[in-house]
Amino acid sequence: MKKISMFVLAICSTAAFAQKVSDYKYIFIPEKFQTFKKSSFGLEESLAKALKGKKYDVLAESVDKWPSDAKNNSCNVLNAEVLNDKNLFTNKVILQFKDCNKKVVFESKGSSDIKEFEEGFADALNQALTKVGFSNPVAMLPAQNTAVNENAQTTVSEVSTSSATPSANHYSNGKMELQKIQIDANQFILANSGSSVPFAVFKTTSKKDVFTVKLAEGNSTIGYFENGNIVIDIPQADGRYSKEVFAGK
């Protein structure tokens, strides 16, 4: 039971790191944007085309047609919406992306002086889209059901046991106590001991024992194993990095 709880903690912690649109692979676009009363001037199709160009997978209205990792866990999907923000003289839109908890992950505004509605709204949307990065997704979350979690219990245990370096599950830099939770063979997290607050997510690279690291505040860096310890290069305000060593306990 404790192992199952730890796996659930790992899922929640990973979800907390999906903070940017580019962290996602899948985006759902509704059949019609609700704040446009009579016509949304083809903005749904325009948005879908633009997002596909940025390497996102745009999902259809029917959930049955979704890929399994999107259908089995809605937290792998962002929900797009375009709001009509028009005033008397300017065609304006607000582009929003919300996560599975209806939290706004990203919002961008665009405006156009083009008076014709169809061209003007399309131009405004294009302006809002300039701030949306290309898809560079984090690991997909597992299905939301007990059977998967119970099966994953064995997987997490096996992966943790087979990891030769490091062998400990608890680490400290003298200021904080962290717990290593293996999500799968290619990803693990360090979370604050005794809570669900994540500190960092590690993903494997092509080099053994070297990882890309995403910190809780959103910074990306690298980490690696060294003499049974976990080391993270912490970004500093002046652009340099400091070596933070978390010793195994």
What's the CATH code of the domain at 59?
A: 3.40.50
- Domain identity same for 75 and 171: no
Q: Are residues 164 and 90 in the same domain?
A: no
Going 132 to 134 to 190 to 100, the CA torsion angle's sign is positive
Considering the domain architecture, whether residues 124 and 56 belong to the same structural domain is answered as: yes
| 110 belongs to a structural domain | yes
Is position 217 within any domain?
Answer: yes
Q: Which pLDDT score, from 0 to 100, does residue 108 have?
A: 93
Burial label, 90 (beta-carbon count in 10 A; 0-12, 13-18, 19+): middle
Answer yes or no: is 10 within a domain.
Answer: no
Cα torsion at 58, 151, 212, 232 (round to 10°)?
Answer: 140
- Determine, yes or no, domain membership for 149: no
Q: With respect to residue 145, please indicate whether it lies within any of the assigned structural domains.
A: no
Residues 22 and 119 grouped into a single domain: yes
Same domain, 164 and 243: yes
Regions of the chain with pLDDT less than 50: 1-18, 145-164
Q: Are residues 204 and 115 in the same domain?
A: no
Domain final residue pick, 129, 150, 182: 129
- The pLDDT assigned to 115 comes to 84
> Do 23 and 115 sit in the same domain of this protein?
yes
Task: Kindly state whether residue 2 falls inside one of the protein's structural domains.
Answer: no
The verdict on 24 and 122 lying in the same domain is yes
Residue 144: per-residue pLDDT:
54
Q: Which residue has the tokens 């059949």?
A: 31
Domains of the chain: total: 2
User: Do both 164 and 125 map to the same domain?
Assistant: no
**97 and 164 within one domain:** no
Do 121 and 41 lie in a common domain? Answer: yes
Global pTM?
A: 0.52
Distance CA 54, CA 88 (A): 32
Contact 95, 108 (CB under 8 A): yes
Domain that holds residue 226: 158-248
Domain assignment present for residue 152? The answer is: no
Please indicate, yes or no, if residue 230 is contained in any of the structural domains.
yes
Exposed/middle/buried for residue 216 (C-beta within 10 Å: 0-12, 13-18, 19+): middle
Whether residues 101 and 182 share a domain: the answer is no
